[in-house]
Structure formats: C-alpha cells, structure tokens
Amino acid sequence: MKKKKKGQKTTKKFTSVISVLIDQPNTPLNYKQIGSKIPHISYKEVNQTLEKLVMEGQIKSPSVGKFMFEKKDFNEIEGTLDFNSKGDAYLVADNLENDIKIKYGNTLDAFDGDLVKVKLSYIEGKTKPRAFVTTVVNRNREYIVGTLSSNRNTHFVIPDNNKIHTDFYIPKEYLKNAKNGDKVKIKFRDWPARTKNPYARIVEVFGKAGNNSAEMHAIVAEFGFDTQFDDAIEKAANQLPKTIHKDEVSKREDYRSISTFTIDPADAKDFDDA
C-alpha cells in the first residue's frame, strides 16, 4: 500500500468523535459517554483524540474531563466536495459566495465530487466557519481505477486519482483473479463503521501496471468510459475488411512504395510523426 500521509490514520477517529459532539452541541460529555457511541475506537483513543481536538481549538473543555462542541450560529448546508492532493476539501454550493474549506480529518468518509451535508459553526472573532461533513448524500463515482497491492491474504487497491486519499480493501472473494501489481477497476461497496478502509470489489482487470495497453484502458475507465463494447459493435467491427479496396486506393495519394520512418511505436494507433 502507499505510504499514509501524516494524520491519515486518525482521520476517522477525529470525524467520529466530532460527529458525536455535533449531535449534542453545548452538552458537556466525558470520554466514556462519547466512546460508547463509537465502539470501533477504544476509550484510550477517544480520550487522546479529544485532547488533540481541544488543543486545535475545534472543541471546548469546560471542566476537567468534560468536552463539548460549542454551538454558535450553527447551520447546515448541502454541496459538492472538491478535494486537493493534500487531503483538504472545499465545499462548493450555488448559494455560497465563496467555497468553504474543510480541513483534512473533517470530511467523514466522503470522496472527491460527492454531494454532502456539512455543518458549519461560526466562532466569535473569526470570519470563516468551521465545517464538518455529517452525511454523504450521493456518491459522485461508482467505479475507481487503481493498482492492486497484495500481501499474503491482504489485498488493497491504491487509487490512481490523487484526490482520493484512502486505499480500498478487497476481500479475497472479490479479487476477480487479479494479481499483485495489476491495474484494475473497482466498484465501491461500503465503508463499515468499524474499519479504517472502505470495501470494494474488482470488476475489471486491465493487466500489469506500466503495460501500455493496461494503462491506456485504465485512463479510459478513469474518465468514466467503457473499455468493452457490446456484442453488436464487436460483430460489426469484425466484419470490416482487412484490406483496402482498389476503388478506395484510387481516391488517395499512394506513398506506400516510398521508404518512410516514424518515431511512433509499433503498437501506435496511428502514425502522425513520420
């Protein structure tokens, strides 16, 4: 798997803890009360996360051992997430004059382009609100392209898109015979609450990463185009003649008898650099 960015392992912890506090704004809670609502995180981790959030100023600690999210002109807005390569996101919405930045770790389990609901909290003395994704309304993409990384019985797909900041866990039964290092197309399945990575299944195997054909098909799939044609199209293509009819040749300038050199590779689809 690719090397995780600093803080990436704590992303879901931060988001899970903040979400509990947001649901009960201005209500002081201790770490056990908060931890009981997020069983996939230990009480120790919850307490450590709370301390970090207090240090960052994202939550308050009104008394020893108590934590809360302070509600100030609190409201919710719906929009589309636009991630950058660092992991931060911007909320884009028609009713916003300026996009709202959402810090890395506050994006829940949303991906780039997803339609989400975001809660905003305005802090006294600051013009920009704090923003937290609370709900993924609609996924922007169903399929993702990446490279399979297998280690014994553990399999992950590393996305090609640098705006997607997590690897996808592939259960063995959904490998579709793909091998380590293969370029593949996956379908997002779920992101269970107790897991660090989303689950997906492989739907298409393009071949080894780096192979010209595999990379070409991967690029096509990344932009949402089908890499396979239906039977009717394949049948029509197979009926095309393999040679050029003499009537067609007579309509063109014929330079086939002239020695010609090109820098295009042998597997090029056209020769335009002769």
* pLDDT tens-digit map of 184-210: 999 999 988 778 899 999 999 999 999
Flag whether pLDDT at 155 surpasses 50: yes
Q: How far apart are CA 184 and CA 148, in angstroms?
A: 7
DSSP lists the bridge partners of residue 130 as: 121
Q: How far apart are CA 121 and CA 187, in angstroms?
A: 35
Q: What is the DSSP letter of 25?
A: T
DSSP lists the bridge partners of residue 101 as: 90
φ/ψ bin of 5: left (φ > 0), alpha (ψ from -120 to 50), beta (otherwise): beta
**Residue 204: per-residue pLDDT:** 96
Pairing of strands 100-102, 115-121: unpaired
H-assigned helices in the chain = 11-23, 31-35, 43-55, 212-222, 231-238, 246-249
Contact present, 129 and 111 (Cβ < 8 Å): no
Tell which residue, 136, 138, 103, 137, has the closest CA to residue 121.
Answer: 103
* pLDDT tens-digit map of 99-126: 889 988 888 889 999 999 998 876 666 6
Flag whether pLDDT at 69 surpasses 90: no
Tell which residue, 107, 84, 46, 235, has the closest CA to residue 161.
Answer: 84
Give every CB contact of residue 77 below 8 A, 6+ residues apart in sequence: 91, 93, 95, 96, 100, 117, 118, 120
Other CB atoms closer than 10 Å to residue 201's CB: what's the count? 16
**Residue 10: per-residue pLDDT:** 55
Flag whether pLDDT at 226 surpasses 50: yes
Which of 15-19, 64-68, 160-164 has the least mean pLDDT? 15-19
Q: How far apart are CA 219 and CA 221, in angstroms?
A: 5
User: Which position has the token pair 């960015």?
Assistant: 5
Mean pLDDT of the residues in the chain: 86
**Residue 74: per-residue pLDDT:** 58
Tell which residue, 83, 126, 74, has the closest CA to residue 108.
Answer: 83
Which of 22-26, 129-133, 204-208 has the least mean pLDDT? 22-26
**Residue 211: per-residue pLDDT:** 94
Flag whether pLDDT at 3 surpasses 60: no
User: Which position has the token pair 């905003």?
Assistant: 120
Query: Would you state the structure tokens that stand for residue 204, as one six-digit string?
Result: 């298409």
Q: Which H helix or E strand runs over 167?
A: none
User: Which position has the token pair 């379908």?
Assistant: 187
- Domains by residue range for the chain, with CATH: 1-71 (1.10.10.10), 75-138 (2.40.50.690), 143-222 (2.40.50.700)
Q: How far apart are CA 197 and CA 156, in angstroms?
A: 9
Flag whether pLDDT at 267 surpasses 50: yes
Contact present, 200 and 168 (Cβ < 8 Å): yes
Flag whether pLDDT at 24 surpasses 90: no
